[in-house]
Structure 1
Amino acid sequence: MNFSRHRHTALLGLPAVALLVAIAGCSSADDSASVAVPSPDTKVTGLCQNLDKVLPRTVDGHGREDPEPRSALTAGWGSSAIILRCGVERPPKMVDPKVANGDDPKAVGGRVNGVDWLMEKQDDGTTLLTTALRKAYVQVTVTAGVDVSGVLVDLAASVKKAVPEGTAD
C-alpha cells in the first residue's frame, strides 16, 4: 500500500474543505437585500425622510423588510421583491424622445392614482419604476412575478402625501 499517495490526496482535499468552511462562514443567514443608498441634497433628503414615515406596511401583499444598510432613503417589501430608493438621479430615459413618443418597447410612461411613473422593463425580468414630475425621484425595483400595478396603487398615496409635484432638477 502506498501511504504517500493517500497522504498527498488528503492534503489536497484540506484546502478545498477550508475554502468551503470559509465561504459558509462568510455567507449570511439573513435574506435581506442590500442596496446602494442614494445621496441627494438636503431638500430632497427631507422629502425622502417624510416619505419613509408614511410608506405602507405592506405593498402588493408583501410585508415591509427594509434592505441593508438601513436608511430613510430606502425601503423594501417581501425581502427583495420590491425595493424603493428615494432621491435617485433622473433616469436618462425620462428625457429620451423615443419614450415620449412611445417608440421604446422597454419604457413607457403612465399615471396611477395621481402619480406619474416611468416604467422600464429590464433584461433580467425586473421592472424599474421612477416617479416623474415630483420634487424628488422615487425609484422602485419590482422583481419578475410581482404585480407592478398593485405596487403602484399601494405606493401612490404615500408618494402624493410626502413628495410634492414639481421638478426635481
Structure 2
Amino acid sequence: MDACTTLVKAFPQKILDADHRDTDPPSPLTKAYGDPPIEVTCGVSPPAGMAQAQSQCFEVNGVGWYAKEAANGVIFTTIGRKLYLEIAVPKTYTPEANALTDVSDAVKAHNPLITPCT
C-alpha cells in the first residue's frame, strides 16, 4: 500500500475550493475535504457493476473514471489504473464530476495507466 500512501499524499490541499481536513480515524490511505466531506480512499475493490462498465468510462484530463450514483452524491472510481482510487462527492458540490479535474494530475503522476478509457 506504499503506492497508495504516495498517491494520497500527492493530492492537492483543496478540491472544489473545499479545504483538506483530518479524517477519523486517521489513515495514510484516505483524505477528506470540506463539510460535508469529499472523501478520497485508495486501495478499494472495483465497484460492483464496473466490469461491464467500459461503455460508462469517461475521461477527465487523461484519467478514466467509473461513476456510480449514491444516495448523497456520486462515487467515482479510477478505471484502467494500477490502483483503484475512489472519490465520494456529496450532492452539495454539484456538478460532482468537477472534483475530478482537481485530482487528475496527482492520479496521472502516481497511479500508472494500464488500460486506456474506451
Q: Which moved more, 1:129-138 or 1:139-148?
A: 139-148
Shift of 1:94: 1.1
TM-score (norm 1): 0.63
Q: Are 2:39 and 1:83 aligned? A: yes
Q: Are 2:100 and 1:166 aligned? A: no
Task: Say how many residue pairs are matched.
Answer: 114
TM-score (norm 2): 0.88
1:119, 1:153 → 2: CA distance? 14
Counterpart of 1:75, as a letter, is K
**Larger relative helix fraction:** 1
Q: Are 2:96 and 1:140 aligned? A: no
| Structure with max Cα Rg | 1
Runs of 4+ aligned residues of structure 1 deviating over 3 Å after TM superposition are none
2:36, 2:2 → 1: CA distance? 25
Percent identity for Structure 1 against Structure 2: 29
1:79, 1:49 → 2: CA distance? 23
Q: Are 2:63 and 1:115 aligned? A: yes
1:66, 1:162 → 2: CA distance? 22
* Aligned CA-pair RMSD: 1.5
Higher RCO (Cα < 8 Å, 6 or more apart):
2
Instruction: Determine the structure 1 residue equivalent to 2:75.
Output: 128
Instruction: Determine the structure 1 residue equivalent to 2:102.
Output: 154
- Unmatched runs of 5 consecutive residues or more in structure 2: none
1:57, 1:148 → 2: CA distance? 18
**Larger relative strand fraction:** 2
2:28, 2:67 → 1: CA distance? 23
Alpha-carbon contact 1:119-1:129 (below 8 Å) kept: yes
